[in-house]
Amino acid sequence: MQRAIPCSVFRGGTSRGLYFLASDLPADAATRDAVLLAAMGSPDARQIDGLGGAHPLTSKVAVLGPSDREGIDVEYLFLQVAVDRAAVSDAQNCGNILAGVGPCAIEAGLVTAGDAYTDVSIFMANTGATAMARVETPGGRVNYDGDARIDGVPGTAAPVPIDFKDIAGSSCGALLPTGRVIDTFDGLEVTCIDNGMPVVVLNAADFGLTGSEGPAELEADRTLAARIESIRLQAGRSMNLGDVSAKTVPKMSLVSAPVSGGDINTRTFIPHRVHEAIGVLGSVSVATACVLPGSVARKVIAGEAVDGVHHFEIEHPTGFFTVEMDVAGSASVATLQIRRAALLRTARLLMRGEVMVPAHVWEEN
């Protein structure tokens, strides 16, 4: 026997995931996770018996629900479903999957569409922060067509601008979770930062890299992977994340001087596969490191104090990620404030229907 669960598939930014209403999933988290593993086909490197795409970027889940919080339209819980392990984690947020939340909430009737566009305020349950997404809704229906282009996705689509406020210390409790701009692990200087996503910023040159190596080349280097994981485990503890051996945070961003006219070049371990681009909130953390006096990122780009609204062009393996940030007090660590961060994503509804899971998975858990 199989059980049918209502579900939509969206591309959100440069990721893809299954989007559910909380009311369609088991209330108990352990049963919910077992159901999601079955839906994705995990654990299996190919996820052949499910809908997962055999990569962390395509093994993601959004759970949406109504909100009774003041000024909030929809609650969004992000769940990362591991590909080759039986693990589901709520320890991180995901700004790419977030891009599909506004359209999905409108399609599902959780939010009433406006006539030209609809502003959807989203409570990100993983971190307790809020995002505002603007969705085009001409005639009260979600529009997916448009001219917006984001690197890492072919073609163009309708723009989904997203605004973040107060995301500093989202998972770690402070923008600088260790209390320092520079920490030293295994003899290397790193910057641990959390402006929406816990990230360890590393200098690519410290690993003998140019910083422009491709994801496959970086993943194939097992010595590099071991060195990065050793730093990650130590940094995770220092960042108030505890034992991160089974967690997907912190992300590890290798930075180098820009090579294509951007502000900084990145290659990001998320944390074991290498991102084909860079995460949304991950880029906000890296962009913030670029204005943080004394940080690894600021040293690598020889950056200057820059108060005001700036567009940071983060280079990644498949192009650029632009983060707009309103910066104040960048002359010193003590005064630095990121008043607002904004960026552009696109999203598209790919399928809606029911995902089938073996009935016993729901019943026996």
Report the interface residues with ligand NQM, using CB under 6 A: 14-15, 56-57, 93-97, 197, 248, 251, 270, 275, 279-282
Distance from the Cα of residue 364 to its chain's centroid: 32
The encoded tokens of residue 316 equal 């990644």
Q: Which residue is nearest to ligand NQM (CB)?
A: 279
Nearer to ligand NQM, 244 or 357 (CB): 244
Residue 70 beta carbon to ligand NQM: minimum distance, rounded to whole angstroms: 25
Beta pairing, strands 264-269 & 347-358 = unpaired
Looking at the Cβ atoms of 113 and 277, the one nearer to ligand NQM is 277
Residue 175 CB, nearest approach to ligand NQM (Å): 16
Q: Which is nearer to ligand NQM, 177 or 282 (CB)?
A: 282
Q: Strand 88-89 vs strand 160-165: parallel, antiparallel, or unpaired?
A: unpaired
Smallest gap from residue 312 Cβ to ligand NQM (A): 15
CB 271 within 8 A of CB 331: no
Torsion, CA 282, CA 244, CA 217, CA 85, rounded to 10:
-110
Q: Which is nearer to ligand NQM, 55 or 299 (CB)?
A: 55
Question: Smallest distance from the beta carbon of 336 to ligand NQM, in angstroms?
Answer: 21
Closer Cβ to ligand NQM, 137 or 346, answer by number: 346
By beta-carbon proximity to ligand NQM, the closer residue of 26 and 100 is 100
Q: Cβ closer to ligand NQM: 276 or 357?
A: 276
Smallest gap from residue 281 Cβ to ligand NQM (A): 3
Q: Quote the least distance from Cβ 78 to ligand NQM, whole Å.
A: 9
How buried is residue 316: exposed, middle or buried, by Cβ count under 10 Å (0-12/13-18/19+)?
Answer: buried
The minimum distance between CB 283 and ligand NQM, in angstroms, equals: 7
The least CB distance from residue 365 to ligand NQM, in Å, is: 26
Closest CB to ligand NQM among residues 113, 239: 239
Q: Which two tokens stand for residue 346?
A: 């696109």
Nearer to ligand NQM among residue 26 and residue 271 (C-beta): 271
Task: Give min distance, CB of 279 to ligand NQM, in A.
Answer: 2
Residue 139 Cβ vs ligand NQM, minimum distance, rounded to whole Å: 30
Is residue 160 within 8 A of residue 99, CB to CB? The reply is yes
- The nearer residue to ligand NQM, 181 or 197, going by C-beta atoms, is 197
d(CA 6, CA 39): 11
Q: How many C-beta neighbours within 10 Å does residue 361 have?
A: 18
